[in-house]
Amino acid sequence: MDYKEEQAQELDILRSIYPDELDEISETKFNIHFALDTRPVKYIVLGVEYPEDYPETVPILSVETSDGTFLKERKGEEDGEDDEEVHFEDELNNDDMKKLLDELDENAQENVGMASVFTLASLLKEQAEELYNEKVKKKEQAHEKAILAEEEKEQEKFRGTPVTPESFAEWRRKFREEFKLDQANEQRDKTKLTGREIFERGLNKDEDEDDLKEAMDELNVNK
């Protein structure tokens, strides 16, 4: 196999596929710049260097983020031209770059003996977009979870302790003992009070269970 010829042929094919994206440093070293299909647009660069016996060995690869200057200049775009307002965004960090590079190296090993740069470049773009969009999705979910938690917290302010016959009777007993209402009640008019008056004043010592239920029902209705 003529390694130099194989490399030259592949590089020629890459020129036709990536007329704006390909940045040739030498006959054996080049970068391919990508604008990812993300919102907002993110940029990533695949660095490739041919070992002397490529494609019988894997190419030397690198992956890094970019500000997109190279592509914008090649395409005649102005800074900010591709910007759009989004609610959530994130960045691809060094750990992400390592993960992407590991996937490329693994795929390159599987393609030893064949020209593989186009395959690797396509894989990188796809994986980088998927990784970025997944990070943004997690950020959106975390934001939604925080909003729901805050709403729940606000709703708790308007929720009282549920009134049961037992809890009402216990509260009433303590209330009457504290204010000695049983003694006072002996001198008060025995006129039947409304449910709310019973609750607010707690004066009727001999009310039956129906009176207690009426008081609780009226309290729940008027909450």
Q: Which of 58, 67, 33, 35 is nearest to 47 (CA)?
A: 33
Q: Which stretch of 93-102, 111-120, 182-191 has the lowest confidence by average pLDDT?
A: 182-191
Using one digit for the tens of pLDDT, what is the confidence trace for 11-27?
Answer: 999 999 999 999 999 99
Q: Which stretch of 64-73, 160-169, 209-218 has the lowest confidence by average pLDDT?
A: 209-218
Task: Give the span between the Cα atoms of 209 and 108, in whole angstroms.
Answer: 82
- Band (pLDDT 50/70/90 cuts) for residue 113 is very high
Using one digit for the tens of pLDDT, what is the confidence trace for 39-93?
Answer: 889 999 999 999 999 999 999 999 999 999 999 999 888 765 555 555 667 788 9
Domain range list for the chain: 3-139, 165-221
* Other CB atoms within 10 A of residue 118 CB: 14
At residue 212, the pLDDT reads 57
Q: With helix as H, strand as E and coil as C, how does 77-98 read?
A: CCCCCCCCCCCCCCCCCHHHHH
User: Which residue type is seen at 103?
Assistant: E
C-alpha of 73 from chain center: 33
- Band (pLDDT 50/70/90 cuts) for residue 175 is confident
Looking at the chain, the whole-number percentage of residues with pLDDT higher than 70 is: 74
User: Which residue type is seen at 30?
Assistant: F
Class of 3-139 per CATH? Answer: alpha beta
User: pTM of the full predicted structure?
Assistant: 0.64
